[in-house]
């Protein structure tokens, strides 16, 4: 047995994949050979779903099929909301999403229909939970609309502005897949046991809920609220937080050694919202804090670059779309589920059951333990 131990599995390769690749030194992310920046600017979430699940961007006819299938899946999920009353009463949106997803049924062994059913259902559940928290009735889906547009409409009960639809779509394309992150690893572990896809997704939702994974964007806005909107105050606040040993939310990444490429995509999307008169009041604050943080961290930790990650501008973009902080992580999940399902299929197609080793460091039978 190897004595090598890697805290957090750093540097350990657990799978070979054709789904996505990351170059942390250069700040690049590609999905099945396509740069994420290009996909986010040029493709819809429906197209990305086809790329993830079938290996290639769909043609026009394929796009129509994906859009129709997702529209039908949203309707089916809405028709089943009556069975999920208790789930959607949860205080936390991710608890509601996980409990509602667990009520979904599988459609046969080939899994493609089940994939679509799950991807179509999560935005319906997230929007319904948000509406119930406000004491309002859920809004029925409109299968003629795109997935991103219909989610905003179901959440806000009004037709969104085209700029909002573009921003929502760009966000979902940007965050749908990102290598072997914590929730994707969980999905692959469960898939390696040949468990069902509903179990795979509910397990991954539990991982995404964590504040060190999908729960980070809300605290980014809390940070902006705590900082006075000027460079001197930002530098002072950041120095105090670092001196106290606290983490600066939205900065730094386990993989990237430069600025997260997804941060640039989402900053650009947020700026386009602002140009349409729909932007977040936090955009300039975010840029000010990012600049101050970059300077302070370069001074205090010159050995490593800690730049903006995806959560930094996710928070600003979703705020600009009118979504409350309580809905940020469920909205993230509505996209990342596509990546989970792609990885689940890949893992089940040839991977062994995931069973890493551990190194026991406790006492042994008969060994005296000091008090």
If DSSP states are collapsed to H, E and C, what string results for 67-132? HHHHHHHHHHHHHCHHHHCCHHHCCCHHHHHHHHHCCCCCCCCCCHHHHHHHHHHHHHHHHHHHHH
Q: Does residue 343 have an active-site annotation?
A: no
The more confidently predicted of residues 110 and 323 is 323
Q: Does residue 25 have an active-site annotation?
A: no
| Helix H or strand E encompassing 34 | strand 34-35
- What is the reported pLDDT for 127? 98
In tens, the pLDDT along 215-240 reads 878 889 999 999 988 899 999 999 99
Among residues 177, 253, 290, 343, the one annotated as catalytic is 253
For helices 60-79 and 147-156, what crossing angle results, to 10°? 30
Among residues 46, 147, 311, 343, the one annotated as catalytic is 311
**With 50 as the cut, is the pLDDT of residue 203 above it?**
yes
| Helix H or strand E encompassing 232 | helix 231-243
**Residue count (the chain):** 371
In contact, 66 and 47? CB cutoff 8 Å: yes
Q: What are phi and psi of 34, to 5 degrees?
A: -110, 130
In tens, the pLDDT along 89-113 reads 999 999 999 999 999 988 765 568 9
Alpha carbon distance 12, 154 (integer Å)? 42
> 166-180, 274-288, 348-362: which has the highest mean pLDDT?
166-180
- What is the reported pLDDT for 332? 97
pLDDT-based confidence at 293, cuts 50/70/90? Answer: confident
Overall average pLDDT of the 139-147 stretch: 98
């Amino acid at each position: 047995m190897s004595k090598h131990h890697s805290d957090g599995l750093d540097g350990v390769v657990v799978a070979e994949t054709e789904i996505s690749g990351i170059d942390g030194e250069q700040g690049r992310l590609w999905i099945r050979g396509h740069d994420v920046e290009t996909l986010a600017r040029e493709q819809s979430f429906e197209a990305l779903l086809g790329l993830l699940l079938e290996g290639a961007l769909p043609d026009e006819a394929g796009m129509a099929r994906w859009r129709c299938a997702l529209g039908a899946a949203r309707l089916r999920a809405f028709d089943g909301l009556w069975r999920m009353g208790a789930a959607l009463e949860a205080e936390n949106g991710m608890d509601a999403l996980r409990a509602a997803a667990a009520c979904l049924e599988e459609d046969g062994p080939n899994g493609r229909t089940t994939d679509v059913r799950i991807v179509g259902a999560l935005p319906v559940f997230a929007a319904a939970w948000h509406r119930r928290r406000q004491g309002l009735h859920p809004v029925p889906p409109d299968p003629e609309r795109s997935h991103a547009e219909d989610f905003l409409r179901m959440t806000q009960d009004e037709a969104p502005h085209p700029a909002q639809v573009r921003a929502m779509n760009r966000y979902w394309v940007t965050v749908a897949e990102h290598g072997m992150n914590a929730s994707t690893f969980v999905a692959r572990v469960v898939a390696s046991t040949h468990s069902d896809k509903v179990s795979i997704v509910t397990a991954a939702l539990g991982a995404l809920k964590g504040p060190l994974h999908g729960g980070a964007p809300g605290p980014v806005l809390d940070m902006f609220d705590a900082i006075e909107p000027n460079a001197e105050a930002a530098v002072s606040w950041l120095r105090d937080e670092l001196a106290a040993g606290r983490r600066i939310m939205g900065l730094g990444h386990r993989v990237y050694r430069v600025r997260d490429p997804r941060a640039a995509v989402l900053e650009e999307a947020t700026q386009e919202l602002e140009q349409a008169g729909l932007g977040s009041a936090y955009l300039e604050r975010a840029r000010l804090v990012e600049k101050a943080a970059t300077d302070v961290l370069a001074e205090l930790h010159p050995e490593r670059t800690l730049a903006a990650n995806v959560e930094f501008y996710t928070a600003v973009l979703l705020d600009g779309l009118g979504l409350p902080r309580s809905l940020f992580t469920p909205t993230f999940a509505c996209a990342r589920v596509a990546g989970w399902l792609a990885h689940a299929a890949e893992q089940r197609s040839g991977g062994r059951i995931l069973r890493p080793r551990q190194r026991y460091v406790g006492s042994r039978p008969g060994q005296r333990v000091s008090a």
